[in-house]
Chains A and B, each alone.
Chain A
Amino acid sequence: MFFTSAEFQAVVSALNEGFLKTVQLFFVTLIGALPLGLVISFGSMNRWAPLARPVHWFVRRRAQRQAGAPVEYKPGKMAGALIGFRPIRLICRLLVWIIRGTPLVLQIIILFYVPGMAGLFSWGGGESARFTAVAVAFVINYSCYFSEIYRGGIQGVPVGQQEAGQVLGMTRSQIFFKVTLLQMIKRIVPPMSNEIITLVKDTSLARVIALQEVIWMGESFMKGNQGYSGLIWPLFFTAVYYLAFTGVVTILLGQLEKKLSYFR
């Protein structure tokens, strides 16, 4: 009987071990990227424009000097650009562009090797060091994707909601937590579900620096480092793990969506 054979037992126990790592990476990424993504989304909507006041002041003063009296003034192209300079927003959007604009595989490789090559620090050897490096890469990558989903969710809540909170004397944080947040969550559940299911499968990219997640384990039965070589079915069999996992995640997210359907 195949399912009771030593080969099957060995494969399942190896894949279980790899799958545990997959699940760990999944949750560490979520726990890190869900809040960090929110921070980045606030950053990419930040309106802080340190040059607006001084430039306005300068342009107005120059216009008044030339006219010799207070006049209507209009900032030119150059002044307009300076007025619109928003460093926090710029940095966040730049980060999002770079991270979304390059492959995650590349980011993992760069993050793992470049610190050591540049003599900054080393992640160290061993499985746990590799896990840390990969987790950091995943958290950064996913928080950038999440930040855009959050941004869409926040901007999708009508301004009138915020204004209603304001005229009722609520503070900014009360408005966010008591008024906007739940409406935002409702809006972002479908796109977030998509991203989270992609994350389940993206964890397999970690094998590029030899993190022993489930695909790596499956492949190892071809390469012979489990005492077996030339076995390809274990690699195919990993699909069962992914399907089971995404199935559970899909059900949970579906329940969340249903829970939030009591309002519109």
Chain B
Amino acid sequence: MAILEVKNIEKHFGATKVLEDISFDLEEGQALAIIGSSGSGKTTLLRCLNFLETPDQGQIVVQGKKLFDAADPATQRESEVRKKRLHFGLVFQSFNLFPQYTALKNVTLAKELLAQEQPDYKSRKKEILGEIEAEGRELLAKMGLADRAGHYPHQLSGGQQQRVAIARALALHPDILCFDEPTSALDPELTGEVLKVIRGLAEQKTTMIIVTHEMAFARDVADQVIFMDGGLIVEQGDARQVIEHPQQERTRQFLSRYSEH
């Protein structure tokens, strides 16, 4: 069974339709790349999955559980949305690290706050915080940032910041990790180190959705690709198939612009 089922998502901003009848499934352990030109609705789709936008129509189902149903207001209550968000992780284009915390604290903060809700938090406080810190350090080490744990974001390069942001998202063990153009704010030299980390996650069978403009990366790392245009899914399928042998004229046009340079 698919870990994520997106059914007929529709979203308007005022009178503009930004998403139209978006449906797709994602299997556990697979990576899905979403490609398309700016304004095609890719980012809005990710934001809908992370409950930063509320779709006007459609359903979002994770592990057979209906997390969101536009027709059912009970699924949209603020208190529940907060917990539902934890099924998804989101890595932003602009990193959005918390500037006043060290890299390590950025990774552990949310987990520490969640731990306060555990019934045994008071009695095991030290132990719990110790575990969270150890895991935070481990995640940073996995990102190649073991020696940067005590640095503040402004002391890190863009690529390092983005890797901290990835560790921060991983710390909460989301079912599905989403990337919103994770390398678009980086210069080409730093892009590589972030893509390498994402590639590593794909090899470990992390379920991921990656909005990206890196076509070669999408082809090599993703299992599935969705090409979006004007708020619609124009083409979807096997990554290599879609990128190397697109069936739709619109997809071909879009991809040709990338192969030119």
- Enumerate chain A interface residues (CB-CB to B < 8 A): 72, 74, 158, 160-161, 163-171, 174, 178-179, 182-183, 186, 262-264
In the assembled complex, 15 residue pairs joining A and B whose CB atoms fall closer than 8 Å, in A order, are A163-B52, A163-B96, A166-B50, A166-B85, A168-B85, A168-B110, A168-B172, A169-B82, A170-B110, A170-B113, A171-B82, A174-B113, A182-B100, A186-B100, A262-B100
Contact B15 A167 (CB under 8 A): no
A-chain residues with CB within 8 Å of residue B88 when the two chains form the complex: 167
Contact A178 B109 (CB under 8 A): yes
Specify the main secondary structure of chain A where it touches its partner.
Answer: helix
Q: Known contacts A169-B114, A263-B154, A264-B154: does B96 contact A164 (CB below 8 Å)?
A: yes
Contact A167 B89 (CB under 8 A): yes
Q: Known contacts A169-B114, A263-B153: does B96 contact A161 (CB below 8 Å)?
A: yes
Q: How far is the CA of A74 from the CA of B15 in the complex (A)?
A: 8
- Closest chain-A Cβ to B98's Cβ sits at a distance in Å of 6
- Enumerate chain B interface residues (CB-CB to A < 8 A): 15, 50-52, 82-83, 85-86, 88-90, 92, 94, 96-100, 109-110, 113-114, 152-154, 168-169, 172
A-chain residues with CB within 8 Å of residue B82 when the two chains form the complex: 166, 169-171
A-B CB pair tally, cutoff 8 Å: 65
Q: How far is the CA of A264 from the CA of B88 in the complex (A)?
A: 28
Q: How far is the CA of A263 from the CA of B99 in the complex (A)?
A: 6
Contact B85 A158 (CB under 8 A): no
Output the residue of A164, A171, A174, A183 with the most chain B CB within 10 A.
A164
Q: How far is the CA of A72 from the CA of B90 in the complex (A)?
A: 33
Tell me which of B52, B90, B99, B168 contacts A264 (CB under 8 A): B99
- Closest chain-A Cβ to B45's Cβ sits at a distance in Å of 15
Q: How far is the CA of A166 from the CA of B113 in the complex (A)?
A: 12
Contact B113 A178 (CB under 8 A): yes
Q: In this complex, what residue of A is CB-closest to B93?
A: A160
Q: In this complex, what residue of B is CB-closest to A182?
A: B100
Contact B98 A167 (CB under 8 A): no
Q: Known contacts A178-B113, A263-B152: does B96 contact A169 (CB below 8 Å)?
A: no
Q: Known contacts A163-B52, A169-B85: does B172 contact A158 (CB below 8 Å)?
A: no
Q: How far is the CA of A70 from the CA of B15 in the complex (A)?
A: 15
A-chain residues with CB within 8 Å of residue B152 when the two chains form the complex: 262-264
13 new A-B contacts at CB < 8 Å, known A163-B92, A166-B82: A158-B94, A160-B96, A161-B96, A163-B96, A164-B92, A166-B85, A167-B50, A167-B52, A169-B82, A169-B86, A169-B110, A169-B114, A263-B99
- Closest chain-A Cβ to B43's Cβ sits at a distance in Å of 12
Output the residue of B15, B83, B98 with the most chain A CB within 10 A.
B98
- Closest chain-B Cβ to A28's Cβ sits at a distance in Å of 31
A-chain residues with CB within 8 Å of residue B153 when the two chains form the complex: 263-264
- Closest chain-B Cβ to A11's Cβ sits at a distance in Å of 49
B-chain residues with CB within 8 Å of residue A164 when the two chains form the complex: 92, 96-98
- Closest chain-B Cβ to A234's Cβ sits at a distance in Å of 48
